[in-house]
Amino acid sequence: MKRTLISWGIFATFFICAVTFNWHPDLFRFSMPAAPFKALIWVAFLSFLAYSVYCSRRENIFRSIASIGELHWGRQIGIDLYIGLSIFLSFVYVHEGSLLAVALWLVPVVLFANLAVLLYLAIHFESILALIQRSTS
């Protein structure tokens, strides 16, 4: 239980820092044409966060990972997850153009996996959309 509280404390600190240091006026504005997609990312983030908190109250993540790690499919899923997270960190480099940004997101991505990915996508939605639009025109 103590590890769980420490983990969620670390996540709360990460969340506050990520939102504070990346604050912009459109962060929680949903008035653009792509607003439904932005809302979907925020809903996915909040839903996944709520379910993660629920799971952490039911089971110890460290024991669960240890038992899953003993299974072939458990190891395959873990490898698959971290390959995807590595690809995401490559995207952060393309988006930010900085290894420092990758380094800053590396630990949260390794610790919190897709919670960190969804938060990054939600925070940077407008600039990611602009990058996509520039690359297609």
Looking at residues 93-115, what average pLDDT do you find?
95
Cα distance between residue 124 and residue 23, in whole Å: 10
Residue among 46, 60, 49 at smallest CA distance from 5: 60
Helix (H/G/I), strand (E/B), else coil: 104: helix
Model pTM score: 0.91
Cα separations in angstroms, 28 against 25, 62, 90: 8, 34, 26
Structure confidence at residue 1 as a pLDDT band (50, 70, 90): low
Average pLDDT for residues 77-99, to the nearest whole number? 96
The pLDDT assigned to 118 comes to: 97
Q: What is the rounded (10 degree) CA torsion for 51, 52, 53, 56? A: 120
Kindly list the domain boundaries of the chain, sorted by start residue. Answer: 2-136
Query: What pLDDT, in 10s, does the model give residues 2-60?
Result: 777 888 999 999 999 999 999 999 899 998 889 999 999 999 999 999 999 999 989 88
